[in-house]
């Protein structure tokens, strides 16, 4: 299960937070844990360079894209490798929507689109679409070209 997708700005304020199968009372803990993890480790990391951590039996893969940091949390079959596949899809979709690694402002300007992309990529903790071109068409309700 892909437990969480969290996107924060460079100061650690949450921009998008989507949890799946994480009880409400644990979400705040996860939020602060991830933000601290990013603050400790993301300085000087290049765009899309992946960082990895594990916390108990849960895996975390995270990265920087422009001025936002992106965190994916998973367990069981969503281990560090599946998460890096998923985060690759998320970053490419965001870059696609924003046209470049986004600033916070650009990210917020394209907020609706980004939400639609995330909706196409992860559905209640399962990876659904992985191809950025297809996602680009799907969020505009255009049929995919590749079939």
Contact set with other proteins (CB under 8 A): 14-18, 27, 41, 49-54, 61, 77, 79-82, 84-85, 103-105, 108-109, 111-112, 115-116, 119, 123-124, 126-131, 134, 138-144, 147
What's the closest the beta carbon of residue 140 comes to other proteins, in angstroms? 7
CB-nearer residue toward other proteins: 41 or 95? 41
Angle (nearest 5°) at CA 122 between 116 and 125: 140
What's the closest the beta carbon of residue 129 comes to other proteins, in angstroms? 7
What's the closest the beta carbon of residue 93 comes to other proteins, in angstroms? 14
Question: Measured between alpha carbons, how far is 131 from 52 in angstroms, rounded to an integer?
Answer: 23
Q: Do the Cβ atoms of 119 and 5 come closer than 8 Å?
A: no
CB-nearer residue toward other proteins: 50 or 95? 50
CB-nearer residue toward other proteins: 95 or 134? 134
CB-nearer residue toward other proteins: 52 or 101? 52
């Amino acid at each position: 299960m892909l437990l969480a997708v969290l996107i924060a700005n460079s100061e650690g304020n949450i921009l998008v937070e989507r949890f799946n199968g994480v009880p409400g009372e644990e979400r705040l803990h996860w939020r602060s844990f991830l933000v601290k993890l990013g603050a400790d480790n993301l300085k000087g990391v290049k765009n899309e360079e992946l960082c990895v951590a594990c916390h108990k039996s849960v895996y975390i893969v995270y990265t920087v894209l422009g001025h936002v940091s992106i965190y994916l949390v998973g367990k069981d079959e969503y281990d560090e490798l599946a998460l890096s596949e998923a985060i690759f899809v998320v970053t490419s979709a965001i870059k696609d929507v924003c046209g470049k690694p986004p600033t916070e402002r650009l990210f917020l300007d394209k907020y609706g689109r980004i939400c639609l992309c995330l909706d196409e990529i992860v559905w209640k903790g399962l990876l659904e679409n992985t191809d950025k071109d297809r996602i680009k068409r799907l969020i505009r309700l255009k049929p995919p070209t590749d079939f």
